[in-house]
Copies of this chain bind each other. A is one copy, B any other.
Amino acid sequence: MLKVSVIGATGFTGEELVRRLVSHPKVKLTYVCGKESRSEKIQDLFPSLKGVDLPCHAFDPKKAIESSDFVFLSLPNTVSMKVAPQFLEAGKHVVDISADYRMDNELIFKAAYGAQHEDTDNLKKAIYGLPELYREKIRASSFIANPGCYPTSVLLALLPLLDKGLSPKGICIMDAKSGVTGAGRKASVQLNFSDTNENFKAYRVLSHPHEHEIGHVLKQQRAAWDFVFVPHLLPLNRGILTTLYVPTDKAKSPKKLQEIFKSFYASEPFVTVLPDGKLPEIRHVRGTNQCHLGLSFRASQNMLVIVSAIDNLVKGAAGQAIQNMNIMCGFEEGLGLS
């Protein structure tokens, strides 16, 4: 059994990680910790975890290192980079779920997050953990930067086009909508129920850091697309649905495009291209590690509309992190994810 730690177990992603890891057949969860000093058991924090008898400590790096071989960092941005180096130095395998190691370049990190990177050595070593793009690199790596939730929903919608070298003839629009867990579990007037329920809004228009992450991966793929990304906040707990508008020029038939997507994802366990005429819905991916994709095409405008849906806490965070662990450790890729 692989001995696993979750550093930052009390947020939504940490909770989802713990819930899935305790029933993962190859894993023994040996250490979890939360933001503050707690004497509570993890079961008291999350009463649905009946029978899990693990204490939830204040973070003690030494204890974490001693008790585990594999570490999930589920920490706020700019905090992970203070913590990751000691685990890596101790030879642990690490999946970092924060944004800290997703760019291989500290300037892009600074442009996106407005902060100086403090661990540029490891920044260059981390592999971007999108299995559908980098599975072999992930398999060979011991340090994974788990993708952001929005970039996961966007990139999975674009990989088949990138693979064929197709690029948009004009600006690609990415209109993304996320449930509220995407903002984390925190005290905030902005996130209180009464002002969020029965509400909907765009936020950080033209200034969300995930736009940098998307652009960075596109460039890595030599696809320096012109695009605009605008996120919105949905009054629901879980799920991201992104609508992408990709102007094409060679008018591929809808059938041909459908085939390109179907064929690209034919053997992927966690991406489903819906049959022609069907569209993704958040309820169909909620609680799953699936990404659902639906295509529509208007020939008169050469306009391809792609709708992409994931659960932000699963394929967009904890589920993809476990998928990465499974790949890194040679486990069956779907363990803990059904």
Which A residues are closer than 8 A to B by beta carbons? 12, 23, 44, 46-48, 50, 170-171, 173, 175, 177, 179-181, 185-189, 191-203, 205-206, 226, 228, 230, 232, 234-239, 241, 243, 245, 247, 269, 272, 274-275, 278-288, 290, 292, 294, 296-298, 301, 303, 305, 307, 338
Contact = CB atoms under 8 A, between A and B. Distances in A.
Given A192-B193, A193-B192, A198 B50 contact: no
Nearest to A296: B205
A76 to B, nearest CB: 15
Contacts of A235: 193, 197, 234-236
Give this chain's copy count.
4
Given A192-B192, A245-B228, A281 B173 contact: no
B305 A205 contact: yes
Contacts of A279: 201-203, 205
A284 B46 contact: yes
B205 A180 contact: no
23 contacts: A47-B278, A48-B285, A48-B287, A179-B194, A180-B192, A180-B194, A180-B197, A187-B189, A193-B196, A194-B237, A198-B283, A198-B286, A199-B236, A199-B282, A200-B234, A201-B279, A201-B282, A202-B294, A205-B305, A206-B298, A230-B243, A232-B241, A235-B235
A290 B203 CA distance: 20
Contact of A198 (B175, B189, B199, B237): B237
A197 B236 contact: yes
A194 B205 contact: no
Given A298-B228, A307-B205, A200 B177 contact: yes
Contacts of A236: 197-200, 235
A287 B284 contact: no
Contacts of A193: 180, 191-193, 196-197, 235, 237
A184 to B, nearest CB: 9
B243 A288 contact: no
Contact of A232 (B177, B196, B285, B294): B177
A195 B181 CA distance: 9
B198 A301 contact: no
A170 B172 CA distance: 11
Contacts of A285: 48
Contacts of A269: 50
A239 B298 CA distance: 28
Contacts of A232: 177, 241, 243
